[in-house]
């Protein structure tokens, strides 16, 4: 493998890993803010207990999101210096804005939230977690604006003298239609994930520890499951719009999502295909007629361009070359994204059903045992769906790093040798592997621990010696 190939693997691995933590952080920070608001409004102690319980899971997860995010910012320069030179005039600004507007907000107010339980007035302390939550979405917006520019470059011109893309309209970059639709799709994906995590953990307690904080955990199952269900509905809507925009700006990606080789009108959507090894020809497939036409164009008899026609069109436009992404990868990642997301929503529905009207799943019944397996899968499915979504959207852009402007093959760092990239790959793999074990261990530990005691410390102690709340 050459350095570029290695750098691509590294980007894929580190980004997918980073994005395991990001959606949980985004979704859970809002849910925790919601729980704390409920406590502040009602004074009911169960909400405070849930706030602290899920708050702890949020913090364990947040730390990983922050540190793995560092790698992302450095990586553009370290592994992709030619890319950085080409796009820096445009791509750097959203990154700088993300740090200045979002990261400062998140880190500072998270610190205030963690350590401020007894130092800040209640209302201000509550505002802190809301600010953190808003910060996570701001951050998502800026980085998605940057990514969307790679999918659909707008607001720029090419300066042939300096050999780079130069910004001409920053407003166009920030309101890129791909960014505007990708943000809600990504954020609702985050809510699907965080809701699933919340519901699954709470359900585990209801079944395994009956009688302990039942009322609170029932509320958490409901909140988490409903969040996931609403998120899934929104994912369909946003995903549908996104598909139509994608068909418009990156038709090859849509064709690759279906492995549609020749242009068809109307085009079917295949749920499952057994293809030849190179993916160029289906052996057998299960098709639903006209659905791809609808996904791509909004009408059931729309024309969808096929890969071969697009290849010919791109060759005429950009010169000879292979303009096809890796078809089996795009085909399957697209299906897995949708399928696993839907499965998660169904499991959330099952969780709600099992506690309907004050019922609780009886332990030792076979259906309960099955439900427990479902609850283990529940948070993992959206995590996988998120990853496949990103794999699809990034692999579907290939061979371009910036669609229609720069190919991935010429974007890597000339100064970074294969040895350098292998070294960093080994370091990240070992480090990330070890941290995954630690993080999952801690999450399970605290998820099992149950709700914390929230009785305030005796008031007799002087203020000087009062222990710090929530100290490290």
Partner 1 sequence: MELSTLWFLLIALLFIGYFVLEGFDFGVGMLLPVLGRDDRERRVLINTIGPVWDGNEVWLITAGGAMFAAFPEWYASLFSGFYLPLLLILLALILRGVAFEYRGKRPAASWKRRWDWCIVFGSVVPAFLWGVAFANIVRGVPLDAGHDYTGSLFTLLNLYALLGGLTMVALFLTHGAIFVALKTTGDIRHRANLLAERLGVCAAIAAVLFLGVTLLRRATPAAVVLAVLAALCLVGGLIANRMPSRTDPQGRREGWAFAGTAAAIALAVASLFADLYPFVLPSTVDPLTNSLTVTNASSTPYTLKIMTWVALVFTPIVLLYQGWTYWVFRKRIGTSQIPEEPAPVPAAGGRAT
Binding to partner 1 in span 208-227, by CB under 8 A: 208-210
State CA 438 to chain mean position distance: 21
Which of 40, 108, 308, 418 touches partner 1 by CB under 8 A?
108
Contact flag: residue 64 with partner 1 (CB under 8 A): yes
Q: Which of residues 420-449 bind partner 1 (CB under 8 A)?
A: 420, 423-424, 427, 431, 435, 438, 442, 445-446, 448-449
Q: How far is the CB of 160 from partner 1 (least distance, A)?
A: 14
Q: How far is the CB of 378 from partner 1 (least distance, A)?
A: 19
CB-wise, 266 or 452, nearer to partner 1?
Answer: 452
Q: Which of residues 243-262 bind partner 1 (CB under 8 A)?
A: none
Nearest 5°: the CA angle 370, 374, 379 is 165
Q: Per the structure block, which two tokens stand in for 231? A: 């998120």
Q: Per the structure block, which two tokens stand in for 382? A: 């959206």
In what helix (H) or strand (E) does residue 167 lie, and over which residues does it extend? strand 164-167
Q: How far is the CB of 75 from partner 1 (least distance, A)?
A: 9
Q: Measured between alpha carbons, how far is 134 from 113 in angstroms, rounded to an integer?
A: 14
Q: Which of residues 308-347 bind partner 1 (CB under 8 A)?
A: none
Q: How far is the CB of 334 from partner 1 (least distance, A)?
A: 31
Q: Per the structure block, which two tokens stand in for 124? A: 């201000």
Contact flag: residue 63 with partner 1 (CB under 8 A): yes
CB-wise, 3 or 344, nearer to partner 1?
Answer: 3
Which of 316, 366, 456, 472 touches partner 1 by CB under 8 A?
472
CB-wise, 90 or 197, nearer to partner 1?
Answer: 90
Q: Which of residues 153-172 bind partner 1 (CB under 8 A)?
A: 164, 166-168, 170
The secondary structure of residue 457, as a DSSP letter, is P
Query: Dihedral, CA atoms, 238, 89, 106, 337, nearest 10 degrees?
Result: 30
Q: Which of residues 75-104 bind partner 1 (CB under 8 A)?
A: 76-79, 81-82, 84-85, 87-93, 95-101, 103-104
Radius of gyration of the chain (CA): 24
Coil, helix or strand at residue 458? coil
Nearest to 242, CA basis, from 156, 337, 157, 328? 337
Q: How far is the CB of 209 from partner 1 (least distance, A)?
A: 7
**Residue 228 burial class via C-beta count within 10 angstroms: exposed 0-12, middle 13-18, buried 19 and up:** buried
Q: Which of residues 386-425 bind partner 1 (CB under 8 A)?
A: 413-416, 420, 423-424
Q: Measured between alpha carbons, how far is 335 from 259 in angstroms, rounded to an integer?
A: 11
Coil, helix or strand at residue 159? strand
Q: How far is the CB of 467 from partner 1 (least distance, A)?
A: 4
Coil, helix or strand at residue 401? strand
CB-wise, 62 or 332, nearer to partner 1?
Answer: 62
**Residues 361 and 202 sit within 8 Å (Cβ to Cβ):** no
Which of 30, 109, 204, 331 touches partner 1 by CB under 8 A?
109
Q: How far is the CB of 78 from partner 1 (least distance, A)?
A: 5
Nearest 5°: the CA angle 288, 291, 292 is 115
Handedness of CA 449, 454, 459, 463 (dihedral sign): positive
Q: Which of residues 115-154 bind partner 1 (CB under 8 A)?
A: 115-116, 119-120
Contact flag: residue 270 with partner 1 (CB under 8 A): no
**Residues 22 and 194 sit within 8 Å (Cβ to Cβ):** no
How many chain residues bind partner 1 (CB under 8 A)? 85
CB-wise, 70 or 237, nearer to partner 1?
Answer: 70
Q: Measured between alpha carbons, how far is 325 from 331 in angstroms, rounded to an integer?
A: 10
Coil, helix or strand at residue 56? helix
Which of 9, 74, 300, 353 touches partner 1 by CB under 8 A?
74
Which of 200, 207, 255, 338 touches partner 1 by CB under 8 A?
207
Q: How far is the CB of 199 from partner 1 (least distance, A)?
A: 19
CB-wise, 277 or 471, nearer to partner 1?
Answer: 471
The secondary structure of residue 361, as a DSSP letter, is P
CB-wise, 41 or 157, nearer to partner 1?
Answer: 157
Q: Measured between alpha carbons, how far is 227 from 196 in angstroms, rounded to an integer?
A: 8
CB-wise, 43 or 121, nearer to partner 1?
Answer: 121
Alpha helices in 80-176 (DSSP H): 81-97, 104-115, 122-151, 170-174
CB-wise, 112 or 150, nearer to partner 1?
Answer: 112
CB-wise, 35 or 78, nearer to partner 1?
Answer: 78
């Amino acid at each position: 493998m050459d350095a570029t190939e290695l750098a691509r693997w590294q980007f894929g691995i580190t980004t997918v890993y980073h994005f395991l933590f990001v959606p949980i952080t985004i979704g859970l920070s809002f849910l925790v803010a919601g729980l704390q608001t409920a406590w502040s409004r009602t004074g009911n102690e169960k909400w405070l207990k849930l706030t602290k319980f899920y708050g702890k899971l949020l913090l364990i997860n947040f730390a990983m999101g922050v540190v793995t995010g560092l790698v992302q910012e450095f990586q553009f320069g370290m592994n992709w210096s030619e890319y950085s030179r080409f796009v820096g005039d445009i791509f750097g600004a959203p990154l700088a804005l993300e740090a200045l507007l979002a990261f400062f907000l998140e880190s500072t107010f998270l610190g205030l939230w963690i350590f401020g339980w007894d130092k800040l007035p209640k209302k201000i302390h509550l505002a802190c977690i809301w600010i953190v939550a808003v910060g996570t979405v701001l951050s998502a917006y800026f980085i998605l604006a940057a990514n969307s520019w790679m999918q659909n470059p707008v607001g720029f011109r090419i300066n042939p003298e300096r050999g780079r893309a130069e910004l001409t309209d920053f407003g166009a970059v920030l309101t890129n239609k791909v960014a505007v639709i990708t943000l809600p799709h990504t954020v609702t994906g985050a809510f699907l994930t965080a809701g699933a995590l919340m519901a699954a953990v709470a359900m585990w307690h209801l079944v395994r520890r009956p009688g302990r904080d039942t009322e609170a955990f029932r509320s958490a199952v409901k909140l988490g499951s409903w969040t996931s269900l609403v998120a899934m509905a929104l994912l369909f809507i946003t995903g549908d719009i996104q598909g139509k925009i994608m068909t418009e700006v990156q038709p090859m990606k849509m064709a690759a999502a279906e492995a549609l080789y020749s242009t068809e009108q109307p085009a079917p959507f295949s749920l499952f295909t057994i293809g030849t090894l190179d993916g160029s020809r289906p052996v057998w497939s299960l098709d639903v007629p006209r659905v791809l036409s609808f996904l791509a164009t909004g009408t059931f008899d729309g024309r969808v361009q096929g890969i071969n026609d697009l290849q010919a069109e791109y060759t005429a436009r950009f010169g000879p070359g292979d303009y096809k992404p890796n078809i089996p990868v795009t085909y399957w990642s697209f299906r897995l994204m949708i399928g696993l997301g839907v499965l998660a929503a169904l499991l959330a529905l099952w969780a709600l059903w099992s506690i309907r009207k004050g019922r609780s799943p009886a332990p030792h019944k076979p259906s309960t045992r099955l439900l427990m397996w479902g609850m283990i899968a529940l948070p993992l499915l959206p995590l996988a769906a998120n990853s496949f979504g990103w794999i699809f959207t990034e692999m579907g852009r290939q061979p371009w790093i910036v669609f229609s402007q720069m190919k991935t093959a010429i974007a890597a760092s000339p100064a970074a040798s294969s040895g350098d990239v292998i070294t960093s790959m080994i370091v990240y793999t070992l480090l990330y592997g070890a941290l995954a074990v630690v993080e999952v261990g801690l999450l399970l530990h605290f998820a099992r621990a149950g709700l914390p005691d929230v009785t305030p410390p005796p008031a007799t102690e002087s203020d000087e010696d009062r222990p710090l709340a929530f100290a490290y």
